[in-house]
Amino acid sequence: MKDVKQISLANLLPFEGHPYRVEDNADMEALTESIRENGILNPLIVRPAENDPSRYEIISGHRRAHAAKLAGIEQVPAFVYPVSRDEAAVLVVDSNLHRERLLPSEKAFAYKLKAGALYHQGKRSDLTSAQFAPKLATEQIAEDVGTSKDTIKRYIRLTNLIPNLLDLMDEGKIAFSVGVELSYLPAEAQYDLLEAMRMNDCTPSYSQAVRLHRAASAGALTPWTAQEVMVEQKPNQRDQIRFRRDELERFFPVSYTDAQIKQDILAGLALLQKQRQRERNRDER
pLDDT in tens, 57-83: 999 999 999 999 999 999 999 999 999
- CA-CA distance, 279 to 32, in Å (whole number)? 51
What pTM, to 2 d.p., does this model score? 0.71
> In terms of Cα–Cα distance, which of 193, 117, 192, 115 is closest to 157?
115
Q: What angle do CA 246, 30, 164 make, to 5 degrees?
A: 45
Helix, strand, or coil here: 76? strand
For residue 173, being part of any structural domain is answered with: no
pLDDT attached to residue 253: 85
Tell whether 216 and 153 lie within a shared domain.
no
Q: In 10 A of CB 32, how many CB atoms?
A: 21
Residues 77 and 93 grouped into a single domain: no
Q: Provide the residue range defining the domain that includes 212.
A: 182-230
CA distance between the termini of the chain = 70
> Which carries the bigger pLDDT value, residue 234 or residue 166?
166
- Mean pLDDT throughout 156-180? 95
Q: Is residue 206 part of a domain?
A: yes
In a domain, 15, yes or no: yes
* pLDDT cut 90: percent of the chain above it: 48
Q: How far apart are CA 203 and CA 105, in angstroms?
A: 18
Question: Total structural domains in the chain?
Answer: 4
End residue of a domain, out of 33, 63, 82 = 82
Res 31: pLDDT: 92
What integer best gives the mean pLDDT of the chain?
A: 85
- DSSP 8-state code for residue 51: S
Q: Do residue 150 and residue 100 come from a single domain?
A: yes
- Is 237 inside a domain boundary? no
Whether residues 89 and 77 fall in one domain: no
Q: Are strands 75-80 and 5-8 parallel, antiparallel or unpaired?
A: antiparallel
Residues 5 and 78 in one domain: yes
Are residues 1 and 69 part of one domain? yes
CB 26 within 8 A of CB 67: no
pLDDT score at 244? 75
Q: pLDDT tens digits, residue range 221-262?
A: 887 888 888 887 565 444 566 777 777 878 888 778 877 888
| 250 lies in the same domain as 267 | yes
Residue 129 lies in a domain: yes
Please tell me the distance from the alpha carbon of residue 243 to that of residue 179, in angstroms, as a whole number. Answer: 13
Say whether pLDDT at 100 is over 70: no
- C-alpha 204/C-alpha 47 separation (Å) is 44
Q: CA 144: distance to chain centroid? A: 15
59, 47 contact by CB (below 8 A): yes
Question: In which band, very low, low, confident or very high, does the pLDDT at 127 lie, cut at 50, 70 and 90?
Answer: very low
